């Protein structure tokens, strides 16, 4: 940890840093386990050149999830975007990781159902802040169909075209899907309180087997989106989804829409990493663009 960051954190935390040990995780920030001379241990991360509002947006998301009172979320200890020239940072309570127990996954299903059920004022974010590594817009919409089409699919189609990340024919299908998304959208539901980037790396399990959610990209959305993201990369057992469905049953046909909700994260990964994500994103876009045309 360099001197400027150390000094900034000591001032923000009101204590001297005894030890700062780098920790792995994430692909944009530099993170540390920080031991303070007042015996506190915290998690701190910084960013060499963050987008505007980078850390305060994440902190707001953590607090919003915590307000649901349904799942454990690390407390925000200090946050600053560095607008005054000081190193930007986010400091959270430290979570000592452990191993899942038999109740960890089913309990997450219950907790997530309750988080989603806490709701949101609209589809999107009232503060209109962008989220994610591509800075996707979150301006509020009245319906999920409008939000996903105009705040996810259309912007990602432009980004993919600019980056040459998808074949030209797929880009054309992508545009048609965005235009006709209302024909394949899930049945109308009130906006749910979404984590927004719920893959296994953003769920921690502590030494007691308790679930914690981290690194949110929160917005009000359709709850099928979080559940589809969880299925994209694995890491959540069947009992998690079974208990979720018991607490908050899904609308018929949700299985046919999983890949539809996965298009946004797949395209983001195709832009960033290429490889197999290009084929997976292309297949999903082509499938649902055809369905939207028929609808």
Residue 97 DSSP code: B
* Cβ-based burial of 249 (10 A; exposed 0-12, middle 13-18, buried ≥19): exposed
196: left (phi over 0), alpha (psi -120 to 50) or beta: left
- Find residue 21's DSSP bridge partners: 33
Which tokens go with 117? 């059920």
What contacts 233, CB < 8 A, 6 or more positions away? 199, 200
CA distance 121 to 103: 32
Give φ, ψ of 250 to 5 degrees: -85, 155
8 Å CB contact between 268 and 134: yes
Which tokens go with 63? 């607090």
List active site positions.
Answer: 197
- Find residue 206's DSSP bridge partners: 97
User: Integer distance in angstroms from the first to the last C-alpha of the chain?
Assistant: 56
8 Å CB contact between 244 and 112: yes
CA distance 111 to 127: 25
Cα dihedral 148→150→153→158 (10° resolution): -160
CA distance 26 to 30: 8
């Amino acid at each position: 940890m360099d001197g400027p960051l150390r000094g900034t954190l000591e001032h923000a935390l009101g204590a001297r840093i005894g030890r700062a040990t780098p920790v792995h995780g994430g692909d944009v920030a530099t993170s540390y386990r920080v031991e303070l001379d007042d015996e506190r241990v915290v998690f701190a991360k910084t960013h060499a050149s963050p987008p505007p509002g980078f850390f305060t947006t994440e902190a707001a998301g953590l607090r919003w999830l915590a307000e649901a009172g349904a799942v454990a979320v690390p407390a925000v200890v200090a946050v600053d975007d560095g607008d005054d020239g000081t190193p930007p940072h986010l400091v959270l309570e430290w979570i000592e990781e452990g191993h899942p127990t038999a109740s960890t996954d089913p309990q997450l299903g219950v907790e997530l159902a309750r988080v989603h059920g806490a709701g949101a004022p609209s589809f999107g974010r009232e503060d209109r802040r962008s989220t994610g590594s591509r800075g996707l817009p979150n301006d509020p919409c009245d319906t999920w169909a409008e939000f996903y089409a105009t705040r996810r699919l259309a912007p990602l189609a432009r980004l993919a075209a600019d980056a040459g990340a998808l074949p030209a024919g797929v880009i054309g299908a992508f545009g048609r899907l965005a235009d006709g998304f209302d024909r394949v959208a899930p049945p109308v539901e009130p906006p749910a309180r979404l984590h927004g980037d719920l893959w296994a790396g953003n769920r921690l399990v502590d030494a007691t087997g308790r679930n914690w959610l981290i690194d949110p990209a929160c917005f009000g959305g359709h709850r099928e989106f979080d559940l589809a993201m969880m299925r994209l990369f694995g890491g959540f057992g069947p009992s998690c989804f079974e208990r979720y469905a018991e607490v908050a049953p899904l609308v018929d046909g949700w299985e046919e829409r999983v890949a539809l909700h996965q298009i946004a994260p797949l395209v983001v990964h195709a832009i960033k990493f290429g490889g197999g994500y290009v084929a997976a994103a292309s297949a999903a876009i082509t499938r649902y663009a055809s369905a939207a045309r028929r609808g």
